[in-house]
Structure 1
Amino acid sequence: MSNKEAVAMTESYPMNGGDGTYSYTSNSTYQRESSLYAKEMIDEAIAKKLDIKSLISNSNTLCIADLGCSVGPNTFIAMQNVLEALEKKCLSQGNGSKVPEFQVFFNDHASNDFNTLFASLPHGRQYFAAGVPGSFYGRLFPESSLHFVYSSTALHWLSKVPEELLDKNSQAWNKGRIFYPSASEEVANAYAAQFTKDMKNFLNARAKEIVAGGMMVVLMPGLSDDIHYSQRSGLLIDFIGSTLMDMVNEGLVREAQVDSFNIPAYCPSPKEISRLVEENGCFSIERMQMMDPRSKMHSPFDAHTFIMHLRAVMEGVFTKHFGSEIVGETFERISKKSAEFSCLLDKSYNERNQVYFVLKHK
């Protein structure tokens, strides 16, 4: 394995660690609902498309990885659901008492709060647990060592901000904005190009790590094929950008700081993902669809809840660029404008804003 394969040089955007007020642990209901929403589809994919008997013909261990696991508890719920589906499939294939042992690898950047993650491992779990630090845009595991890979609300994070956005002489210089939906085509194209590079690296790495016949399930924010990028929910990020510009006008933040700040995330369409999978050539697409987790949420997703979720997810990105004091002030100001934010939340509602896909290694 070459050094290029072993180490992926990427930026790290960890979710807020611990279990405090602004932690990801306490503010990730939406991500959890996305995973639960997809449970039946994952069960079906395993039941109909995965031949476990052939996968473990020479071994009694099934290796599973959650890529971008963060700090829990969502990853534990998702892994338990996957394991139950795998166990059920084993029994249905006539393996009888030969239910394999399960090894679960929890992966995220080295800066992830693995201490909180492993301190909260479920008691009585039916699997062996291990942490694997590193970017999933590079190799993480030995060749042909994984049988099932899962990733939820993680793959939309880019490995880095597109370089063109930071070049004042580039047509893609994103002055005064911090995201792409309300920006020019050049900015959006730069984001799309970075996603293409990252996704190619992701698929190439998984193609080597997943065994023939193995499966990968991915859930991530996305955009329907028939919707232009400018119609996605960028209003909410623009609201944050305008709040930062208010602070520029008050002398609390330098304008150059805002001009050089961009959210390193991209929401692709099924068509974009399908094209990259087909170009890779190592996987068959077993299922690809848009879904709407919010339609089955048990409690309303109001402005305050959304702001708390947004802070848990993005505080690390903001802190690295602006410093912790500015981040606190920014989200405090957003909270005080919750009525205005709530209006934007309603306007930005998109019924199908998550893409779900199942790939099988050829």
Structure 2
Amino acid sequence: MMNSLVPEFQVFFNDHTTNDFNMLFKSLPQNRPYYAVGVPGSFYGRIFPNASIHVVHSSFSLHWLSRVPKQVVDRNSPAWNKGRIQYSNSTDEVVRAYEAQFAEDMECFLHARAQEIVHGGLMVIIIPGRPNGSSHSDSVANATLLLLGSCLVDMAKEGVLLEEKVDSFNLPMYYMSPQELEAAVEQNGFFSIERLEYLPRVPVDDTVSEQLASHLRAALEGLIKQQFGEEILDELFDRYRKKVEEQLSILEIESGKPTHFLAALKRKAN
């Protein structure tokens, strides 16, 4: 009916230009009650017109940084991250470089969304992170990435990979705490936090090694293939799966503590 009280919805799907939007569109239900649009580009910059969006939802995305901190791949920098692929269990200089990149990126993200969201609009975010008060090295997510890095180091020692390739490979990922999100929102000043809560942890079962290997491969395959070539992927993730099986205790680092959290932010009227 032309005078229906049910509003029409338009949903904008955002992703990097290198990702396959055609696959996304093919997976959408044909009888969907909304109009779908793909918007390519990094969400660390502007992607929508001023005051044009009412609700933003970001799920399992904000742990990706806009880039690897430049210092960690500079051989002449005190923050050169030789022999590691991320910041946990690394030097203070490396940790500070990642923390600085996270702070810069979050300010860009919040500033861009503040311009795009209407006053009173909402932003709902699901974030893989770490509990307040925990160290970076105690994070389950970082612990699993350390295992992946150790597999690459092993392969370099065995001559399967070049050591220089491993030394120059770092992941643009950072796992924030709720307190860090609160600090970023306060500094930005355009949003109020309406809700902030941990999400329940998924129980670990006998298939966890396969699940982790499949999940990590889906997330990182593109970056790894670009750095090392496609031919190492099967061997790398088979090694990773076996290491997870041997060291299942890493998944109990924060036993009983949730590591994912949900935040609902409201755009202020200022």
What whole-Å deviation, never above 9, does each CA across 1:303-354 have from its counterpart, x for those lacking one? Answer: 1111111111111111111111122321122234452153433446562111
Equivalence map 1:107-126=2 (5 Å) = 107-126=14-33
SS in 1 for 2:202: helix
Structure 2 alignment gaps of length 5 or more? none
Contact preservation (8 Å) 2:195, 2:264:
yes
- For residues 97 and 261 of structure 2, the distance between their equivalents in structure 1, rounded to whole angstroms, comes to 21
Contact preservation (8 Å) 1:277, 1:283:
yes
- For residues 97 and 86 of structure 2, the distance between their equivalents in structure 1, rounded to whole angstroms, comes to 11
Misfit runs of 4+, over 6 Å = none
Superposed displacement of residue 97, structure 1: 4.6
What whole-Å deviation, never above 9, does each CA across 1:122-143 have from its counterpart, x for those lacking one? Answer: 1211000110011000100111
- For residues 343 and 228 of structure 1, the distance between their equivalents in structure 2, rounded to whole angstroms, comes to 17
What whole-Å deviation, never above 9, does each CA across 1:243-267 have from its counterpart, x for those lacking one? Answer: 1111111211111111111111001
SS in 2 for 1:208: helix
CA change 1:357–1:300 in 2 (3 A) is farther
What whole-Å deviation, never above 9, does each CA across 1:277-298 have from its counterpart, x for those lacking one? Answer: 1111111111122222415x9x
- Of the candidates 178, 201, 226, which is equivalent to residue 108 of structure 2? 201
CA change 1:287–1:261 in 2 (3 A) is same
- For residues 276 and 240 of structure 1, the distance between their equivalents in structure 2, rounded to whole angstroms, comes to 30
- For residues 312 and 222 of structure 1, the distance between their equivalents in structure 2, rounded to whole angstroms, comes to 19
- For residues 157 and 105 of structure 1, the distance between their equivalents in structure 2, rounded to whole angstroms, comes to 20
Equivalence map 1:203-222=2 (5 Å) = 203-222=110-129
Residue in 1 that maps onto 2:55 = 148
- For residues 350 and 168 of structure 1, the distance between their equivalents in structure 2, rounded to whole angstroms, comes to 40
Structure 1 alignment gaps of length 5 or more? 1-59, 61-95
Superposed displacement of residue 301, structure 1: 5.5
Residue in 1 that maps onto 2:221 = 315
The amino acid that maps onto 2:68 is V
- Computed over aligned residues only, the root mean square deviation of the Cα atoms, in angstroms, reads 2.0
Residue in 2 that maps onto 1:355 = 261
Q: Percent identity?
A: 48
Equivalence map 1:209-358=2 (5 Å) = 209-233=116-140, 234-294=142-202, 302-347=208-253, 351-358=257-264
SS in 2 for 1:161: coil
Contact preservation (8 Å) 1:334, 1:341:
no
Superposed displacement of residue 300, structure 1: 6.4
Contact preservation (8 Å) 1:236, 1:348:
no
Contact preservation (8 Å) 1:222, 1:290:
no
TM-score (ref. length: structure 1)? 0.69
Contact preservation (8 Å) 1:176, 1:259:
yes
- For residues 251 and 204 of structure 1, the distance between their equivalents in structure 2, rounded to whole angstroms, comes to 46
